């Protein structure tokens, strides 16, 4: 069995943690461990209220179990975070015993060094899916604590994986030889996208004039200058995803009040194909920051999987995609500044792509399927990619 300590709840955004866990479960049973919650968590994050309903240990799918550890209020406050880690470790050991599986590998996809040794004897891999030290202010945790946790994980784990070339270089500079496993995509989710129904409420949007679109969280990571520039140029602009109310509230209200802009708010992963159908050009407009430089945005792959053109910020991950694959340089347009980005969007919206371009984009995305990423991680975990998985009995 693999224990996967995730940075996001399983029923939250279907990002790296969930995508990898789902596919690892095809190789070996997986216990997916949510970030811990307490009785006050729903007051701070109402969308997690349902997590307290039902038992902490739940079966999600064949070979995949989800554990939602319960901890004391203020789980991440100084001092309390040590008690939280101890409670999570105990909950995981109990769950593993209850499932009757022998834990052979542990993935720690958070910056919680207290999870080291959660399962004695298991091979432990630290998978850094973001540079949380650089994002300390964004996530609201002390930078010094995150630095100390990172350093303990780098030295205490049996192997280290970084999500981006920038983060891999940083770890190597600190004396740790890290492998790199980028984010991926689920191309099959966009099969038949051009026959998907037009989203409710957007029946007339993007039909007469091609639209640009952004799919994801609108927060401090996103370059508002780009979104405002695209809208000011008169292009139809579709925004799909939640907005952080603390991020540029006045600017965001003004942006979404424009007649050529539509904002849908949060949408489920299953709803994305119909929204992707509306757009011709997908946007990955990340502001330049140390946190973003270490990231590997999933949305770039998703746009390509949907057969859409892409304009992306000039991040190290974008350069890596363009440099390592000649098709990446052709299919992903990279721009460093807002003015160039907006100009590129206009050119892509006006362009008539050669026949077969959408299929080329989809084939490129298929080379970055989450299944390939899971197999890469399985190799780091010393799990044979062709191993036969036994069904874990119900508790």
Domains within the chain, CATH numbers bracketed:
2-183+370-380 (3.40.50.2000), 187-366 (3.40.50.2000)
Question: What's the average model confidence in pLDDT over 115-127?
Answer: 95
Specify the pLDDT at position 37. 84
Label residue 12 by pLDDT band (50, 70, 90).
confident
Specify the pLDDT at position 207. 86
- Res. 46: pLDDT tops 70: no
Give the span between the Cα atoms of 232 and 101, in whole angstroms.
Answer: 57
Q: Tens of pLDDT along 184-202?
A: 999 999 998 988 899 999 9
Specify the pLDDT at position 351. 93
Q: Name the residue among 387, 357, 7, 16 with its Cα closest to residue 186.
A: 16
Question: What's the average model confidence in pLDDT over 42-60?
Answer: 69
* Strand boundaries in the chain, DSSP class E: 2-5, 30-33, 57-61, 64-67, 105-108, 123-128, 159-162, 179-180, 211-215, 237-240, 261-263, 279-284, 309-313, 332-335
Please return the burial class of 195, using the count of CB atoms within 10 Å of its CB with bins 0-12, 13-18 and 19+. exposed
Question: What's the average model confidence in pLDDT over 140-145?
Answer: 89
Residue 209: partners with Cβ closer than 8 Å, 6 or more residues away: 235, 236
- Res. 76: pLDDT tops 80: no
Specify the pLDDT at position 387. 52
Q: Please state, rounded to an integer, the average pLDDT across all residues of the chain.
A: 91
Q: Are 101 and 30 in contact (CB under 8 A)?
A: no
Specify the pLDDT at position 384. 77
Label residue 203 by pLDDT band (50, 70, 90).
confident
Q: Name the residue among 238, 304, 240 with its Cα closest to residue 269.
A: 240
- Res. 394: pLDDT tops 50: no
Better pLDDT: 395 or 24: 24
Give the span between the Cα atoms of 243 and 267, in whole angstroms.
Answer: 12
- Res. 33: pLDDT tops 90: yes
Question: What's the average model confidence in pLDDT over 222-246?
Answer: 96
Specify the pLDDT at position 292. 95
Label residue 388 by pLDDT band (50, 70, 90).
very low
Q: Helix crossing, 16-24 with 370-380: angle to 10°?
A: 70
pTM above 0.85, yes or no: yes
Give the span between the Cα atoms of 33 and 243, in whole angstroms.
Answer: 26
């Amino acid at each position: 069995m693999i224990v996967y300590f995730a940075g996001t709840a399983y029923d939250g955004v279907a990002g790296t943690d969930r995508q990898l866990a789902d596919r690892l479960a095809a190789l070996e049973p997986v216990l997916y461990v949510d970030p811990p919650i307490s009785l006050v968590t729903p007051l701070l994050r109402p969308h997690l209220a349902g997590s307290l309903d039902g038992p902490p240990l739940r079966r999600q799918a064949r070979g995949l179990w989800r554990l939602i550890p319960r901890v004391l209020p203020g789980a991440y406050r100084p001092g309390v975070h040590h008690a939280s880690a101890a409670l999570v470790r105990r909950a995981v050991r109990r769950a593993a015993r209850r499932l009757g599986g022998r834990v052979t590998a542990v993935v720690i996809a958070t910056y919680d060094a207290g999870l080291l040794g959660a399962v004695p004897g298991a091979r432990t891999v630290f998978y850094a899916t973001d540079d949380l030290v650089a994002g300390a202010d964004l996530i609201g945790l002390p930078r010094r604590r995150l630095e100390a946790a990172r350093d303990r994980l780098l030295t205490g784990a049996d192997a280290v994986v970084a999500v981006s070339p920038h983060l891999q270089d940083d770890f190597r500079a600190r004396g740790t030889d890290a492998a790199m496993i980028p984010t991926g995509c689920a191309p099959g989710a966009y099969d038949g996208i051009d026959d998907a129904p037009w989203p409710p409420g957007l029946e007339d949007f993007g039909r007469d004039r091609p639209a640009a679109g952004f799919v994801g969280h609108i927060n401090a990571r996103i370059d508002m200058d780009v979104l405002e520039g695209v809208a000011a140029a008169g292009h139809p602009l579709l925004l799909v995803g939640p907005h952080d109310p603390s991020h540029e509230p006045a600017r965001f209200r003004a942006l979404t009040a424009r007649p050529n802009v539509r904002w849908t708010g949060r949408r489920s992963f299953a709803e994305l194909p119909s929204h992707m159908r509306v757009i011709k050009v997908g946007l990955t407009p990340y502001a330049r920051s140390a946190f973003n430089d270490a990231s590997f945005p999933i949305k770039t792959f998703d746009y390509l999987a949907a057969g859409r053109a892409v304009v992306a910020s000039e991040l190290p991950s974008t350069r890596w995609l363009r440099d390592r694959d000649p098709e990446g340089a052709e299919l992903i347009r990279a721009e460093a500044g807002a003015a160039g980005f907006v100009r590129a969007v206009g050119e892509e919206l006006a362009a008539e792509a050669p026949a077969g371009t959408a299929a080329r984009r989809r084939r490129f995305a298929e080379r970055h399927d989450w299944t390939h990423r899971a197999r890469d991680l399985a190799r780091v975990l010393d799990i044979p990619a062709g191993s036969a998985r036994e069904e874990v009995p119900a508790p």
